[in-house]
Amino acid sequence: MGPSGRLVLCGFAVAAGSIAALAQSVISARSGLIHYVEGQVYLADQPVETKFGSFPEVKENQQLRTEDGRAEVLLTPGVFLRLGENSSFRMVTNRLIDTRLEFLSGTAIVEADDVGKDNSVTVVYKDATVHFAKKGLYRLDSDSGGLRVFEGLAEVSAGDNTAEVRDGHVIALDTLAVSRFDKNSTDALDRWSARRGEYVAMANVGAANSVRSSLFSGGGAYGTGGVYGVGGLYGMGSMYGNGCMSGGSMFNGGWYFNSSFGMYSFVPCMDGAMYSPYGYRFWNPYDVYSAFQPGYYYYPSSASATNSARAYTGTGYSVNPVRPIATRGSTGMASSSGSSSHGFAGGGSTASLSSNTVSAPMSHSAGGSVGGGGGGGHH
């Protein structure tokens, strides 16, 4: 075998090693992981019992319901389902290419940070079918029988009729009548969902950095000389290059584990900055190193941002929303009552949903309540 053949095989071996390391951090290719609970939550009528780093799954035809509690479920990569009190849904299919669930009662919020072309999330409620066509923020309420779209685009069908619902509109799921609503009118569940979105974005930094270390180190699959790296078989300038990252990459976004926080987060594809509907940044493995640079300035992407809107952190850990979102959440890290499967403890964090910066030197405590102090929670 010639030198070039040995180089290719060596590169593939390195890639396999990196992929094996990543496999330890990636959840199974199914929707329905119960990521977080607090209070009374039941899966198939059995109390959900979670421990640090261990997460049960909602399997097909199983029902997840809450009483005096709340739950967060991971669906397709980048899509979260959050149940309020006295709410329930049944998992119909849990395949990533076709995730379908039946919303049964109560209130559910869907935060869709990424809607992949190969993944699909559909919610059925009575005779209506809801498909989330774009990234955004959605809320279903069984009492009113309506779907509110805070941001994004939903396609709703009932019988032979179909309607599209856009930002700032609510649709009646029985008649498909569409009207406007006040996006600033929120309640405790909306604020809780915003805080969960904030925590997940914080966990993204460490998760993305772990992926970066696996992929881009000198011996990693994407490192110099690696199969996907600069000059590698799939790298920049090669016949297989120009993937989702400018310059070439075979990495796709997905759920990755943050071992320090004991939770999963979404790590997007390497094709530029990505922000959640709440305005928080999700770092990809290519540019996450910027978040750890001491004295790092970050310019919000808003075209109207001025020098005064720059964020600076002397600790080098900064996650910045695109815009202020005080209308969707209370200021500060508010605590939630009830038991939780995991939470952030201590008062070391400084965070504000109404500011342009979220600095997060946070500690993690298994079994603690979310937050180190402040109001919020079950109100």
Which residue has tokens 């993690």? 364
Lowest mean pLDDT of 187-191, 258-262, 267-271, name the range: 267-271
Distance of CA 92 to the CA centre of its chain: 21
* pLDDT higher than threshold 70 for residue 313: no
Taking a C-beta distance cutoff of 8 angstroms, is the pair 182, 366 a contact? no
Strand pairing report for 161-166 and 153-158? antiparallel
Distance of CA 34 to the CA centre of its chain: 13
* pLDDT higher than threshold 80 for residue 286: yes
- Sign of the C-alpha dihedral computed for residues 286, 288, 292 and 298 taken in this order: positive
Tell me how far CA of residue 280 lies from CA of 115, 196, 334, 351, in angstroms: 16, 11, 17, 12
| pLDDT-derived band at 265, boundaries 50, 70, 90 | very high
Average pLDDT over residues 140-145: 97
Taking a C-beta distance cutoff of 8 angstroms, is the pair 330, 305 a contact? no
What is the chain's mean pLDDT, rounded? 72
* pLDDT higher than threshold 80 for residue 279: yes
Which residues on adjacent β-strands are paired with residue 256? Answer: 26, 265
Average pLDDT over residues 177-204: 96
Environment class of residue 63 by beta-carbon count within 10 Å: exposed (0-12), middle (13-18) or buried (19+)? middle
Structure confidence at residue 292 (pLDDT): 75
Torsion of CA 355, 358, 364, 366, to 10 degrees: 50
Helix (H) / strand (E) element for 123: namely strand 121-125
* Cα–Cα distance, 7 to 2 (Å, whole number): 9
Structure confidence at residue 196 (pLDDT): 98
Q: For 32-76, give the DSSP string.
A: -EEEEEEEEEEETTEE---BTTB--B--TT-EEEEEEEEEEEE-S
Taking a C-beta distance cutoff of 8 angstroms, is the pair 132, 121 a contact? yes
Average pLDDT over residues 137-148: 98
Residues 7-17: pLDDT tens digits? 333 443 334 34
Which residue has tokens 């600790």? 315
Lowest mean pLDDT of 123-137, 163-177, 207-221, name the range: 207-221
For the chain, give the percent of residues with pLDDT over 70.
60
- Give the up-direction half-sphere exposure of residue 154: CA atoms within 13 A in the CB hemisphere: 34
> Comparing C-alpha atoms, which of 313, 354, 88 is closest to residue 198?
354
Average pLDDT over residues 68-72: 98
